[in-house]
Amino acid sequence: MLSRFSLAAIIGGLLNLLYVDNAPDHLRPYVIRQYATAQSTMLPREIFRFYITGASSNNAFTLLTANAPGNPSWNVLPHIHERHFENFYCFKGRYQLWAQAQDNTTQQTRVLTQGDFGAVVRNSTHTFQTIDPDTQLGGMLVPGGFEELFLTIGNASHPSTHSPYDPAFVNQTYSLTATESDIGQQQAFDVYSQLRFQPRRDAINGTAPAGTTWHTGPNQLAEFGRPYFIANGFGPKFLNNESSYQVIQPLVSPTQAGDLNFTMSTITVSTTPPNVTVPTWNLNNIQAFQVLEGMLSIQIASYDVANLTTGDSDPYFTKAMLMSQGYDGVDQQLISRGFPWDSAMFPNRWS
C-alpha cells in the first residue's frame, strides 16, 4: 500500500499552513503529499523526491524517495559515505541492495520487497539495482543535507502529472562511469566511489552469501558499525497497550545510530477502544511520520488535525514509518512502556 501523505511533524514554528508542495526552507511543522513536487529531480532512469531536507529538519535527516523501472545494471556506482548513515526502505516493487562493512568482511546482498529494510552504516561500500517495473525505494539519511548531491547532479525536472517516474526511462541507456565521472565533485557531497567493488551475483532466494536468513526467520539489528537487513515483519517487535494497541518494530535503535542521535521504527496502530482517551504527547525533538497503510490523524498544537492517509478515511489498521531525532522519540517511549511481542500483529481483543 502506498502512502498518500508523508509528514514531517516538526516541533517549533508558528505558521498556520501545514500542507506544502515542497519541504520548507526552515524548521517548522508540515505535511507533504506522496508524489508532491518535493523538489523532484531526474537522473537517468530515476526520479528523486525530497520530503524532508536538511533545511526543513534543522539538518536532522533527509527523507527521499526514488522511483524507477527495472534497471539492467546498478543504479549507481558502488560507493561509500563517510559521514551519512543511509537507510534503505522498499515501498513497492523490488530492488537489490549490496553492502560491505568497513573492515571488508563478507559482502552481503538482499533483494528487498515491500516493507524490507537495509541499514547502510557509515563507511560501508554499497550500491543498488531496481528490478520491478514500478519500484519505489525510500532513503532516510542522517544527518540531513544529503539531498544537495541530487539537486546538483539532477535536472530539477518535475512531472506535471505527478507520475512517479517518466515512462521514457525504460528505454534510456546511460554509462554509469560517464554519469559519475566527476568523483572529485562527489566527494564534496560525501560520495566516495569504490570502482573495484564487484557486486556479487550469486543470490538465491533473494540473499547471499548462503546461510543468511531472509524471509525465512528472524533478523536482528547489528552491532554498531555493521550494515544489516530486516525483512518486513521479521525484526524485533514490541507491543504497547496504553491506549490503542501499537506494535513497534525498531529498524534503527540507539545502539546502531551511536553518535548520530536518531531512531527509526515502524508503528502499527489499531483503532482506539471507545472508552479510551487518546493521549497528548509533549515532544521536544523532531519526529517525522510516513504513512504506509491506513490513516494517521495528527493534531499539532494550534494547527488543524492533519489526516495522513493511504485513502481509507476510517481504517481499522494503520502502519507508519517514524524517524525520530534523539533517543527519547515516540518509538523509544512506546517501547519503554511496552513489552516484547512476537507478532507483527496487535491482539484480536481488547484486554
Ligand X SMILES: *[C@@H]1O[C@H](CO)[C@@H](O)[C@H](O)[C@H]1NC(C)=O
Torsion of CA 206, 232, 66, 319, to 10 degrees: 160
Choose between 249 and 325: whose C-beta lies nearer to ligand X. 325
The question of whether 86 is a catalytic residue gets the answer yes
* Long-range contact set of residues 294-299: C-beta below 8 Å, sequence gap at least 24: 294/1, 294/269, 294/318, 294/319, 296/7, 296/269, 296/320, 298/7, 298/9
> Does 141 sit near ligand X (CB under 6 A)?
no
> Does 86 sit near ligand X (CB under 6 A)?
no
> Does 241 sit near ligand X (CB under 6 A)?
yes
Per-residue interface string for the shown chain with ligand X, residues 2-41, x marking contact by CB under 6 A: ----------------------------------------
Contacts of 306 (CB under 8 A, 6+ apart): 5, 7, 9, 18, 19, 31, 297, 298, 299, 300
Torsion of CA 181, 93, 228, 205, to 10 degrees: -110
Q: Using CA atoms, how far apart are residues 318 and 107, in angstroms rounded to an integer?
A: 35
**258-287 binders of ligand X (CB under 6 A):** 261, 273, 275-276, 285
Interface segment toward ligand X; rule CB under 6 A; list 3-11, 20-28, 129-137, 161-169:
161-169
> Does 331 sit near ligand X (CB under 6 A)?
no
> Measured from the CB of residue 205, what is the shortest distance to ligand X in angstroms?
4
Q: Using CA atoms, how far apart are residues 165 and 136, in angstroms rounded to an integer?
A: 10
Q: Using CA atoms, how far apart are residues 78 and 91, in angstroms rounded to an integer?
A: 22
Task: For residue 329, give the C-alpha cell.
Answer: 522519540
Place of cell 548462503: 210
Choose between 157 and 343: whose C-beta lies nearer to ligand X. 157
Task: For residue 4, give the C-alpha cell.
Answer: 498518500
- Using CB under 6 A, which of 196, 201, 223, 348 touches ligand X? 196
How many residues in total does the chain contain? 351
- Using CB under 6 A, which of 25, 105, 168, 348 touches ligand X? 168
- Using CB under 6 A, which of 105, 302, 313, 348 touches ligand X? 313
> Does 302 sit near ligand X (CB under 6 A)?
no
Per-residue interface string for the shown chain with ligand X, residues 39-68, x marking contact by CB under 6 A: ---xxx------------------------
Choose between 82 and 182: whose C-beta lies nearer to ligand X. 82
Q: Which residues are catalytic?
A: 79, 81, 86, 126
Binding site for ligand X (CB under 6 A): 42-44, 82, 103-104, 122-123, 155, 157, 166-168, 170-171, 194, 196, 204-205, 241, 261, 273, 275-276, 285, 297, 304-305, 307, 313-314, 325-326, 351
